[in-house]
Each structure stands twice: as C-alpha cells, then as structure tokens.
Structure 1
C-alpha cells in the first residue's frame, strides 16, 4: 500500500498564505542564488494549522553551505514573523544541501519527509527524485529510534522549567512526539501513515488497548493550556515513555 502525499493544489488556509509568501520572499532576498528550494511541512502543509497554537515548519535547501549567514538570517526571520504574524507560535527551520537530499543515503530521511510530509513552495521539487513509499519498519525506526533521547530531554526540561509557558510548551511537545511514536510502533502492521497526534493515539490503541490510560493522559497534555503538576508529567514519562522505548528496542531486535 502506497502512502498518501499532500495535494499541492489545495491552497493553504487563507490566514497562512501571506505567511508562506513572505517566507519565500525573505529567503530569496537573504540567500539569493544559493537558494535551491523551500518546503513547508507539518500542520501548515496539511492545511490544519490552528492560529495561536501552530508553528510553521520549513525546510530550506541550498546549493552551498552558509554557516556565516545562517544565525543572522534565521533569527531576523523569526523576529519579523513574531511581529508581523503573532498567531504563528514559532518558525522551525531545517536546512540541507541539494547533494545531501538527492541521495540514496537520504531515502528514509529527506526523501520520505519531502515526498509524503511536505509541500514544495519554491524551486525545483526534490520530492520528485523519490518514488512512493509504503508503510514500513524502516520509516518508523528512522524517525523514532531516538525516542529515549526525547524522553530524557523533555523530562529534564519540564523538571527545570521556571515559567508556566515554558512547561506548557514542553509538555505539549513531548506529548505530540510520544503519540506519533506510539503509532509508528505499529505502522508496519497497520499499513497507514497518520500524522495527527490524537488520531495516532487512537489507532495505536487498536493494537495496545492496555495503554488506554496513558494515551488519554498524553491527549490531556497535548491539549491542556495550563500547567499539569510536574510530578504527574514526569511520572508519565518515566512509565509510558520508558515502556515505549523498550518496545522499539524489542521490535528492532525482531525485525532488524
């Protein structure tokens, strides 16, 4: 079964089209002939973004490295977007070189991300270098085998958070990651690709109904706009997060 692609002919949500247009104009001006192509992924690409809750995820592909300019260009971009588009919570930017993307070594990384999770908004579409993908353990493994690092990082971040906003952002981020990683664990059996974290959790429960309480708690963390007691969040990460880590290790041992 081939995984679906995002239809590039469906327009972005009206509130986000000016954001994408400004993004392209700014990157063209800042990178000039070094810019190869620009891609949007995440909720903006899927046309499901929620003002005040969603960020914009961007991939910038260049011909050459630009380390000396990168910090200035991207920090200025974030500052301008925060001022001009306050409903955008953040601008998340990934960069790559053309030669890195159009490579067999990038089959399950850039290839999958561009082909099935992104929309090309400027330049030659490198997604066309890759064929359609099928649900597989290789995809799930590539994107989630570092789940142990996520759990450790966000556990520490939540424990040390000093402000409500800092903790809320961290607890929402790790909830989203764990819900998606939960579904990816069974994706090769379920034969689908699901990106919405709530739907990921619901589909995962078809295979692991015994984890319903954990999935419900992750859903609360994801949607809650207030602080959850740190002890409760850390307890969930120590229990369910570590269970998920072990399941990935077991599945990797079985499948390879």
Structure 2
C-alpha cells in the first residue's frame, strides 16, 4: 500500500495561515532569483500545530549555494517572528540545492521528506520527481537508525540543562524521536506511516504491548511537564537501550 501525502491546498490552522504567508514573502524576497522552491513540513504542514508548542519548519531549495547574506536573512526572519508571532516556539530552516534534492541518491532522504512529510508552498514541486513510496525497512532505518546517537546527544543536553525551558525542550525533542523510532521499528510489518508521535506510540504497542509503561512515560515527557533529570535519564537508559538493540537485531535479520 502506497503511503499517503499531505494536502497541499487545504488551508492551515487559523493561527498559522498568516505566519506561513509572511515567511514565504520574506524568503522569496530575501533569497531572490536563487530560490527554486519552498516546502513546509512538521505539525503546521499536517495542520496539527499547537500555539506555544509547535515550531514552524521550512526547507529552502536554491539553484546555487546561498551567499554571505544568508545569516542576515535567517536572523531577520527569526527576530520578526519572535515579535509578530510569539506563539511559534521556533523557526527552523533547512537548506538544500536543487541538484541534490532531485537525485536518485536522495530517494530516502529529500525524496521521502518532500513526498510524504512536506508540502510545496512556492516554486516547482520537486516531490513530483519521485514515485509512490511503500512502508519499508529501508525508510525506517534511514530515518531512525541513528537513535543511538540521539540518545547520547540528548542525555548530555538534559544533564547540562541549566533551566526549566532547556530541560523541557530537550525532553520533548528526544521523546518525539523515541516515539517515532518505536513505530518505524514495526512499520515494515504494519504497512503504514505515522508522523504524529502519539499515533506512533499507540500503533507500536500493537506489536509490543509489554512496552506500555515506557510509551506512557514518553508521552509524559512529550506533554511538556517538567520531569526530574534523573527520571528522564532513567527512561533514556532503559527504554532507549532496548530500542537501539531492537534496531540492530532487525537490521541483522533484514539487512
């Protein structure tokens, strides 16, 4: 079964519609003729964003490498959005060259992202260069085989967090990663794709019901509640270690 795609023409949530239009104008003006296309991804693209919880995520595809003014463009956009759209937690901009995106080497990276995780909001839609995708271990391991590195990185960030905001931000980010990685572990069996972390956890439990407590704990981390550092690290060390081992076992079996 082919994976579903996001609806490109459906209106975004009321709070985010003007923000999407505003950032598109800023980037079209700031990048100029070098701009090939723009793509929105994440919860805003899925129309599930929550004010004061969700980021605004975009991919900027250019004809050639961006010049020295890129930092100025990015910093200006970030400053404007902090002032005009304070309910957006962060603006994330990814850059890519058109010849890198429209390439066979990008089948499971940019190709999958543009086809199934994003929507084109300006320019020529490069997702049309790619055919339909089906749930597979190749997709799962490309997107989440790095879970061991994420665990190490965020375990360190959580340990070094100096305030509530840093700690909550780190724990919610790693919770998202672990919930999504949990589902992609079984995606080749389940024959679906979910990007929403809660859906990922729920569908993963159909195959590993004994991990219910771990998934509940990740849901608590994802909620934004402040949890003691030692408790967060305990979850990463126990469930995270188990998940890494399962990925290695599955890779050994399937390859």
TM-score by length of 2: 0.98
Q: Distance in 1 between matches of 2:163 and 2:54?
A: 20
CA distances 1:74-115 after superposition (whole Å, capped 9, x unpaired): 122111111110010001111100000000000000000000
* Structure 1 partner of 2:235: 236
The alignment status of 1:98 with 2:98, answered yes or no, reads yes
* Structure 2 partner of 1:198: 198
TM-score by length of 1: 0.98
- The runs of at least 4 aligned residues of structure 1 exceeding 4 Å deviation read none
* Structure 1 partner of 2:173: 173
* Structure 1 partner of 2:208: 208
Q: Distance in 2 between matches of 1:224 and 1:40?
A: 24
SS at match of 2:14: coil
Structure 1 segment 59-208 matched on structure 2, within 5 A: 59-208=59-208
Shift of 1:67: 4.7
Shift of 1:242: 1.1
* Structure 2 partner of 1:246: 245
Q: Distance in 1 between matches of 2:138 and 2:89?
A: 32
Q: Unaligned regions of 5+ residues in structure 1, if any?
A: none
* Structure 2 partner of 1:3: 3
Q: Distance in 2 between matches of 1:242 and 1:123?
A: 43
Shift of 1:131: 0.8
* RMSD (CA atoms): 0.8
Q: Unaligned regions of 5+ residues in structure 2, if any?
A: none
Shift of 1:10: 1.2
Q: How many residues align?
A: 255
CA distances 1:27-63 after superposition (whole Å, capped 9, x unpaired): 1111100000000011100111101110111000000
